[in-house]
Structures are given as structure tokens and as C-alpha cells.
Amino acid sequence: MTFHRRAALAALAELATGVALVLGLCTRWAALGAAAVMAMAVYALQTVKGFGWTWNTGGYEYPVFWGLAALGVALTEFKRAARPAAQRMGMAMAA
């Protein structure tokens, strides 16, 4: 696979997960996909630039932050889906 195809695939994956998260479509899986895309971005930055945590050295704190945020969304959604339906409905009526 050539570099341009890999770059296009990465851009498509990032776009698809972002759109799915914004629209609320398959939120659990989209958030896991977004976390995976951010993990690949961190790996790519590490490979190209070496270790550099801060932004002024070409660091990867920004993709790490968004990867952790996406992972938090995924875990929250998986927990919410694991609750029994009656409990979810009771909490919705109380709110």
C-alpha cells in the first residue's frame, strides 16, 4: 500500500468517526474507532519525530488528549448500554 493510499485511508477513518460522533450514530463504536485513529496518529508522530511530548517540539499531547476523550465517551456509552432498560427508563423519568 502506497503512502498516499494510507494517508487517504487515515483521513477517511478520521472523518467517518468524527461525523458519526457528531451525529450520534453508533457512538460506542465510533468513539472506539476515534481512539484507535488517535493511537495510530501518536504512533506515526513517534515514528517520524521521535519522543517529544510538548507542542513546540512536534509533540503528540493533542492526539493523546483526544484519544483519551474518545475512550472516555466509549466507556460511558458502554456503561450506559449495560444498565437494564427499566433502570434507564426510571432515570429518564426522574430527570
Grid cell listed for 69: 476523550
At residue 5, does pLDDT exceed 70? yes
| Rounded Cα gap, residues 71 and 73, in angstroms | 5
Grid cell listed for 42: 501518536
CA-nearest of 27, 40, 24 to 77 is: 27
Give per-residue pLDDT as tens, 34-64: 999 998 888 887 777 776 666 666 667 888 8
pTM of the model: 0.73
| Rounded Cα gap, residues 28 and 34, in angstroms | 10
Do the beta carbons of residue 21 and residue 30 sit within 8 Å? yes
